Amino acid sequence: MRAENDMPCSGEPGKPGHNTGHVIGHATGHAPADEPASARPPLDAARLNQAVLRPGGLWQVIEVTESTGSTNADLLARAAQGAPEGLVLTAEEQVAGRGRLGRSWVSPPRSALMFSLLLRPHQVPAARRGWLPLLAGVAVAEAVNAAIGAGVRLKWPNDILAPGPGSAGDPAAPGEAKLAGILAEASGTAVVVGVGLNVSTTPAELPPPRPGALPATSLASQAAQNDPAPDREALFAAILASFERWYQAWRQAAGDPEASGLRPAYTRLCATIGRQVRAELPGDQLLSGLAVGVDSDGRLLVRAPSGAESAVAAGDVVHLR
């Protein structure tokens, strides 16, 4: 896929594809943000499957593994072996989670939702499959906003943003922080969409931002003081339900973002549109201007000071103001 992005945290890479088996736990509830990782309850695969799977639905099975290198790498390998659409793989820990440009993404065990979805959108033209990571962003943002009432928004092509500290130039101005990231990768006719969402990660567990990058945050950090982070199972089920609704509508419309309602929904949630941006393109090219919309293939439309518009298919986008 051409639309890809960094995950919200970084760490040391490990061995991709190392998978240590399924977890079916019995603990419920959620851990306060200052509790150690050992106090964080595991995801229960049996409960998730019971809550999410339905006859004729998109999702076929939800697998929960204790630790793996990368859920995206695991599902890409299974897609190449003919695995069907609707397979969901989530890990309590990723030791080689992947982001854009080979950057890594890891998080303390059981502190995040780290999952990948195997899709086979045969009815959708290849050019419009660039909407898949944007669709995932809409699904995550809607579920998170419903769960915690936060003003979560999207940064093209798909970071999920939450309110953060003020900008370096004006500490009093509203800032942004990265709550989640999405990476979509293709394997033949299959597309694997991976999501990493910080849930109970504490400020001390979040890494410092790379130079020029947004700081990371978590749902626990966004919650009111002394409130716990949202229940991961309930939030995961809500994200999968939202993704299924949007995916089915988009697929039935042959990937048409207007007929499916996806482009209006994305536009409402997108913090990039209407902003001055700098797009750092492949080949060390730079494009600056006003982000004015997203086209029918999911590309960001940037209007230069001359009035000329360019469609950006891939690249790092920086919000300037």
Mean pLDDT estimate for the chain? 84
Shared domain check, 183 and 63: yes
Q: Domain ends where: 228, 247, 266?
A: 266
Number of domains within the chain: 2
Shared domain check, 208 and 280: no
CATH number at residue 139: 3.30.930.10
Q: Is residue 123 in some structural domain?
A: yes
**CA 47 from centre of chain:** 23
Q: Domain ends where: 230, 250, 266?
A: 266
Tokens of 45: 């695969």
Shared domain check, 201 and 90: yes
- Looking at residue 99, its pLDDT comes to 53
Q: Is residue 106 in some structural domain?
A: yes
Shared domain check, 246 and 288: no
Shared domain check, 301 and 259: no
Q: Domain ends where: 251, 266, 281?
A: 266
Per-residue confidence band for 260, with pLDDT thresholds at 50, 70 and 90: very high
DSSP assignments along 278-301, one per residue: EEEETTTEEEEEEEEEE-TTSPEE
Give per-residue pLDDT as tens, 152-202: 999 999 899 998 764 444 444 458 999 999 999 999 999 999 999 999 999
**CA 248 from centre of chain:** 19
What CA–CA distance (Å, rounded) separates 287 from 303? 9
Q: Tell me the CA distances in angstroms from 217 to 6, 161, 171, 180, 255, one per residue in order.
A: 14, 9, 17, 8, 32
Domain membership of residue 203 as a residue range:
37-266
Shared domain check, 211 and 71: yes
Per-residue confidence band for 307, with pLDDT thresholds at 50, 70 and 90: very high
Would the pTM of this model clear 0.75, i.e. be above it? yes
Percentage of the chain modeled with pLDDT above 70: 80
Residue 154 contacts residue 160 (beta carbons within 8 Å): yes
Position 258 pLDDT exceeds 60: yes
